[in-house]
Amino acid sequence: SQTIHQWPATLVQPVGSPLSLECTVEGTSNPNLYWYRQAAGRGLQLLFYSVGIGQISSEVPQNLSASRPQDRQFILSSKKLLLSDSGFYLCAWSVGSSTDTQYFGPGTRLTVL
């Protein structure tokens, strides 16, 4: 069966510090991978998606970046965090066509102080 992992589960970082969040998927090959952010009281916002190694598409301009160094690994990064980067970050995966279900990880709670 497939599983998705995210770490860390929670993170508190000062403004201006770097960020690295990791997501890995097990039990499937060549998944589509997604990063979402959920700000307090707001819906999920798609940040990045990837259909293969080294292929990253960005949905919104921001100081965040994403990388996919391996087939089942998706990393969200920032060189300098802003207060507005605080939120709940969710990684998701799917396979096949655009009609398939997305499966979400447990999330990372990021607080920027």
Partner 1 sequence: KQEVTQIPAALSVPEGENLVLNCSFTDSAIYNLQWFRQDPGKGLTSLLLIQSSQREQTSGRLNASLDKSSGRSTLYIAASQPGDSATYLCAVRRNNDMRFGAGTRLTVKP
Provide the terminal-to-terminal Cα distance of the chain, rounded to the nearest Å: 38
Q: Does 1 bind partner 1 (CB under 8 A)?
A: no
Under the criterion CB under 8 A, does residue 35 sit at the interface with partner 1? no
Candidate residues 59, 79, 82, 113; the one interacting with partner 1 per rule CB under 8 A = 59
The answer to the question of residue 54 lying near partner 1 (CB under 8 A) is: no
Total residues contacting partner 1 by CB under 8 A comes to: 27
Residue 22 CB coordination number (10 Å): 15
Structure tokens at 108: 């990372």
Long-range contacts of 62-69 (CB under 8 A, 24+ apart): 64/19, 66/35, 68/33
Q: Does 110 bind partner 1 (CB under 8 A)?
A: no
Q: Restricting to residues 77-96, which ones interact with partner 1 according to CB under 8 A? A: 88, 90, 92
* Of positions 25, 34, 74, 78, contacts partner 1 by CB under 8 A: 34
Minimal CA–CA distance to 2: which of 25, 22, 19, 23? Answer: 25
Residues 43 and 7: their CA atoms lie apart, in Å, by 22
Q: Which is nearer to partner 1, 57 or 79 (CB)?
A: 57
* CA gap 113, 104 in Å, rounded: 27
Among 12, 51, 60, 113, binds partner 1 (CB under 8 A): 51
Contact set with partner 1 (CB under 8 A): 6, 32, 34, 36, 41-46, 49, 51, 57, 59, 88, 90, 92, 98-99, 101-107, 109
